[in-house]
Amino acid sequence: MLVDSGQCMLDLGQPERAHQLIDEGMALLPGARDKTKAVFLTYEASSFLKAGEADRAAAAATQSLALAQKIGAPRCVTLVRELSPGFKKFTGADGVDDLLERVRAT
């Protein structure tokens, strides 16, 4: 519910509140919902990327990718892979080069 509210806040152009709600919602997810968490992290990465916050986007995408690989969730890996072209204009920003390398290795 909190994550959904966060997504709505993103749509309303209130990214800071949105990310707060998304983070709170993800923290409440039990371990059995790791796939859901990986998907939400990808959504969060996408919103940070759209806002030009490449370092925060890379951190969320890297976390999503690691979690997806750990639990064997290829759809989540694909979601991160689909984001990677958007990071290319931010090479050199904190975490971006590492993320792109990880994506290439998948």
Residue 31 has a pLDDT of 67
Domain extents in the chain:
2-104
CATH tag, 2-104: 1.25.40
Residue 102 has a pLDDT of 96
Task: List per-residue pLDDT tens for the chain, 106 residues long.
Answer: 777 787 788 778 887 888 888 888 777 777 677 888 899 899 889 889 988 999 999 999 999 999 999 999 999 999 999 999 999 999 999 999 999 999 999 8
Phi, psi of 72, rounded to the nearest 5 degrees: 70, 55
99 exposed, middle or buried (CB, 10 Å; 0-12, 13-18, 19+)? buried
